[in-house]
A and B are shown apart, each in its own frame.
Chain A
């Protein structure tokens, strides 16, 4: 792998930047691998990267039916935070946060991780009580957090309407200074390049059409480019997980919904943090290009169409303009949707399945991006050892029968 550096940039300038090495190969599938990862999004690529780098499993294939970063990895609003209420979820997201903090160096790839802080607003007394409870829980778990009152919020974000005249007045917020944003497609590309350098085969335009299962043990997958064998298969397919599970002969408690986001025309720097509000249903940050990145809620109906409905967009923009009257004349540039696989308890599934050797990592719902490094790391550890990593253990798919749910609707909700 060609390492990136300032010196390299100067060197390549001399040849007009025409001799950069490709970031990853485009190999033909081998007949057999030790581990197959189904799904080449951020989580899948991270899994492959850590498998090869940390757990010594180098004979790995990532199978992706489209192209890298064509799904939710590059459709989200890039927010990274770890202020979850329950111990299990906090451990998982904080594990990811710690990896985020060294990720650009680790990958030798600038993922533009910017710890500009995240505000979760409270608009009612109950919101504020929930925020206090969650921040206290966070601090007990070693996660940074503060409770701010309306004045504190106003100091951080002078352009926000924190007056009492708002329809839903801002009463305060939780503030996680270590949270922030990262460039989402750089995350996919960085992990792909790193995994490829460790010998992982990334097979794009390859679609899994079925599993090869004998005596309850998986031994390979059918694809549109022929059969590929492996005794361990990890599925990280987000919105399409239910479809894959069906091929494996079992059900998952997931529902796929369209989730939308939109960006405005680029404007001068005006918002240097991330503002989220569950109550009025909108979240916003400003990208380095200057466009406002705005996230909507999910559409309530099931859908695989990678597009959402206009009433949802309208609802979100009403909330944004209510909080930021100054943005009322900003024009929106692009709007898109992704398919999110939501779980009944708003926590993911990282789990063994009824099929031996077949593992699933799914159900991240509306907030998977922030967990990309941590999810990949614990999933890789589980695949390598055949035993679930302690952080992943509570996220078993069997919790929906045992009743040991991890109810994160408060910290996860819709706003991510």
Chain B
């Protein structure tokens, strides 16, 4: 069970108050008509699917109902930070080696990050 800090409410709440909404920081092409099929297909269907640090949107569905961003490790599920829409993450895959907790969980689950 995640215990998620909503940056708008300023409080930790349980996972059931939230819904995950997929990859964060996706920009709609400014001129869709000018896109090639590849660019448009990439925008619609292709998502980051890293084994490691991932930036994603969540919505505080039964709280303030606002969308915000979460940086989370997809193997340990550790939430590294949450931040408001429009802001940039302070933790990225490059800034963060595999965390100790992630390594420990990986070991236990028999999976490799």
Q: Which residues of B contact A70 (CB under 8 A)?
A: 110
Within 13-30 of B, Cβ neighbours of A (below 8 Å) are at: 15-16, 19-20, 22
17 pairs of residues in contact across A and B, judged by CB atoms under 8 Å: A242-B49, A243-B51, A251-B42, A251-B46, A255-B22, A300-B20, A302-B49, A305-B75, A305-B76, A305-B105, A307-B109, A309-B2, A309-B15, A401-B40, A401-B41, A402-B37, A403-B37
How many A residues touch B, CB cutoff 8 Å?
Answer: 30
Question: Is B92 part of the binding interface, using a Cβ–Cβ cutoff of 8 Å?
Answer: no
- Complex-state Cα separation, A70 to B2, whole angstroms: 27
Is A66 among interface residues, defined by CB-CB distance under 8 A?
yes
The answer to whether A306 and B20 have CB atoms under 8 Å apart is no
Is A256 in the interface zone, CB < 8 Å from B?
Answer: yes
Chain A proximity mask over B75-113: 1 for CB below 8 Å, otherwise 0: 111000000000000000000000000000100011111
Q: How many Å from the CB of B2 to the closest CB on chain A?
A: 7
**A301–B72 contact, CB under 8 A?**
yes
In the complex, which residue of chain A has the Cβ closest to the Cβ of B22?
Answer: A255
| Contact pick for B111, options A305, A311, A403, CB 8 Å | A305
The residues of A with any CB-CB pair to B shorter than 8 Å are: 65-66, 70, 207, 240, 242-243, 251-256, 299-307, 309-311, 344, 400-403
A interface, over-half SS? loop
B11 an interface residue at 8 Å Cβ cutoff?
no
- A303/B41 in contact, CB under 8 A: no
A300 to B18, CA, bound (A): 10
Q: Which residues of B contact A (CB under 8 A)?
A: 1-2, 15-16, 19-20, 22, 37-38, 40-42, 44-47, 49-51, 54, 56, 72, 74-77, 105, 109-113
Besides A254-B47, A301-B20, 7 new A-B residue pairs in contact (Cβ under 8 A), listed by A number: A242-B50, A251-B46, A302-B49, A303-B75, A303-B77, A311-B1, A400-B46
| Contact present for B19 and A207 (CB under 8 Å) | no
Given known contacts A311-B1, A401-B37, A306 and B49 CB-to-CB distance under 8 angstroms: no
List A contacts of B44 (CB < 8 A). 344, 400
- Give the A-B contact count at a CB cut-off of 8 A: 74
- Verify A311–B49 contact, CB threshold 8 A: no
CB distance from A125 to the nearest CB of B (A): 27
C-alpha spacing A299/B22, complex, angstroms? 12
Chain A residues with CB below 8 A from B56, complex form: 301-302
In the bound assembly, the distance between CA atoms of A207 and B38 in angstroms comes to 32
Give every chain A residue within 8 A of B54 (Cβ-Cβ). Answer: 302
Q: Which 4 A-B pairs rank lowest in CB-CB distance, beginning with the nearest?
A: A401-B41, A242-B49, A301-B20, A253-B45
Judging by beta carbons under 8 Å apart, are B49 and A305 in contact?
no
Assess the B109–A400 pair: CB atoms within 8 A.
no
Q: CA of A242 to CA of B16 in the docked complex: distance in angstroms? A: 28
